[in-house]
Amino acid sequence: MIENNNISSKSLTPPLWSRGWYRFAKHKPSPNYGPRPQTSRISLVVIHSISLPPNEFGNDCIEQFFENKLDHSAHPYFKALEGVKVSSHFLIKRNGNLIQFVSCLERAWHAGTSSFKGVENCNDYSVGIELEGAEFGGTFEDVQYETLSSLCASLVNEFPIHHFAGHEHIAPGRKKDPGAGFSWHLFQKSLGLANSFFP
């Protein structure tokens, strides 16, 4: 006879989040982060787009860039990236695969000079998500929206997220991603959140 030790199946399930790391992401820790100010609250998610080299997909160059492992001699474009140290918290590949580089409890270096609703230094209080894609006229895959929506739904449950914005919204004139090819309408519909959450 099997005794009931009051251990529920729920208690055996690993938590979705552990110290700011998401269970359903592949973890590739980046050195490009720092501590958040003690007074900051994670209230914003910033959506980016990136491709390395530009408009080329399906390689590991973005991951290598965020990990400071990019071979700058591998492509002429990479020369301009020498010495640049950046990373988002997450990257969603064209096939929907999710990679996490920085704990959400830490300040990833993804936004640069930025401001949202009059509050500067968006890195202090935001989570950065990169979509593998082109900012000029490029579109994104359905599976990327699916991964993005699942991740953001979990972020909203874990942190006091009140807004989503593109890099173009927090650094207008300087940045243009994720670009016109990103469907904010589809993203909002998949999350089912109010208009006030979106740009």
Sheet-wide strand order for 163-166: 26-27, 98-100, 90-92, 126-132, 44-50, 163-166
Task: Give, in degrees to the nearest 5, the angle at Cα 64 between 104 and 36.
Answer: 25
- Closest of 26, 11, 47, 16 to residue 178, by C-alpha: 47
State yes or no: is 120 an active-site residue.
no
| Residue pair 62/110 in contact by the 8 Å Cβ criterion | no
Give 17's contacts (C-beta < 8 A, 6+ positions apart): 23, 104, 154, 158
Q: How many Å apart are CA 156 and CA 61, to the nearest integer?
A: 29
Per the residue annotation, which of 63, 130, 135, 168 is the catalytic one? 130
Residues labelled as active-site residues: 130
